[in-house]
Amino acid sequence: MFEGFARVWTPALLTRRLKQRPVRVVVAGEAVVLFRGQGGPIGALIDSCPHRAAALSLGRVTPEGCLECPFHGWRFAPDGTNQGAPLNPDARLEMLGATALPVRQAGDFIWIYTAAGEAPPGEPLAPEGLTAPGLARTYVERDWACHWTRAMENMLDSPHLPFVHRKTIGRIVRERMTPASRMDIAWEDTPYGGRATATLDGHGPGAVLDFYRPNIMALTIPVPGRHLRIHAIVTPAEAGRTRLTVAGSRDFATFGLLNPVFAWMNGRIADEDRAVVESSGPGEIPPPGVEPAVGTDRATLMFRAYYHHALRDSAA
């Protein structure tokens, strides 16, 4: 299960997308159903009934907050325990549970832990911009045809800004750079992953990129005295498909009517990346050393090392 992405916490769904009906999400090739009864806890189950493998996401949520299988009506609690097998009063329900995953809420997301039957070693680590009170937030969602690692490393890559984003967030770099310019990327390990700071010709720091293992980037845009960040949440879905959520956070112009403007801008920036990333092919990033690298690849090489060391061969 969850090959190449096992034993990690990942955002799986914006909480506001979960209403009365169960929602199916595919994470790293594994179909998961999320559901919640009125005011009750959220459940995350592997979306396959233990009885005859019907998709539980086709079922309904009962008034008691159980998920009822659409085929023979078995009812599962959010922790996966079987609460009823209709027409079979002698069934040993304790033997007939569904596979539950650890689930949490942090920021505006429902997070799942990508392993069943194991206590997670820690809690989800969400960037401050997704959780701090008093910030206005926007979300845009995209579906890219690529391996998630190509999308993730694009988010950690500063030297593409003056090319891919020449008219948006890369404009200032584009205007300042000369044929002799040099970009330096400083990398600092942090408890959550790492921080990359780029300087151009010794000037800066400009934007700061924080990497939250395994799949979140937070870009701090330097506006003196203000909080302005763009987060990329990069979730592997089906093979060759990546779900991208771009979350913006800010502490100014927090008037809600302005949200569509910020969301539109963040969507535009993401759309600028799309063609380049998808052209990298459906395959994963290769191990360090396979593709040539230069100085400005510092942060993406750190991600490659992490992926190949800690995630690629993982399975639950």
Q: Which residues form the interface with Fe ion (CB under 5 A)?
A: 273
Nearer to Fe ion, 103 or 232 (CB): 232
Sign of CA dihedral 56, 60, 64, 65: positive
Q: Rounded to an integer, what is the distance from CA 118 to the centroid of its chain?
A: 21
Cβ(130)–Cβ(139) under 8 Å?
no
> For ligand FES, which is the closer residue by CB, 99 or 259?
99
* List of residues contacting ligand FES (CB under 6 A): 49, 51-52, 54, 69, 71-72, 74
Which partner in Fe ion, ligand FES, none is near 17 (CB below 5 to 8 A by kind)? none
Give 236's strand partners: 242
Provide the 3-class DSSP secondary structure of residue 95: helix
- What DSSP character marks residue 93? G
Minimal distance, residue 81 CB to ligand FES, in Å: 14
List the single partner that 49 binds among Fe ion, ligand FES, none, CB under 5 to 8 Å by kind. Answer: ligand FES
DSSP-assigned letters across all residues of 258-309:
GHHHHHHHHHHHHHHHHHHHHHT-SSPPPPTTSS---GGGHHHHHHHHHIII
Measured in degrees and rounded to the nearest 5, phi and psi for residue 267 equal -65, -40
Q: Which does 71 bind (CB under 5 to 8 A by kind): ligand FES, Fe ion, none?
A: ligand FES
91 touches, from Fe ion, ligand FES, none (C-beta below 5 to 8 Å by class): none
In terms of CB distance, is 35 or 262 closer to ligand FES?
Answer: 35
Nearest approach, Cβ of 98 to ligand FES (angstroms)? Answer: 9
User: Which residue sits closest to Fe ion, CB atoms considered?
Assistant: 273
- Contact of residue 51 among Fe ion, ligand FES, none (CB under 5-8 Å per partner type): ligand FES
Ordered alpha helix ranges (H), 61-185: 128-131, 148-155, 161-164, 171-176
Using the minimum distance from each CB to ligand FES, give the nearer residue, 71 or 187.
Answer: 71
The least CB distance from residue 72 to ligand FES, in Å, is 3
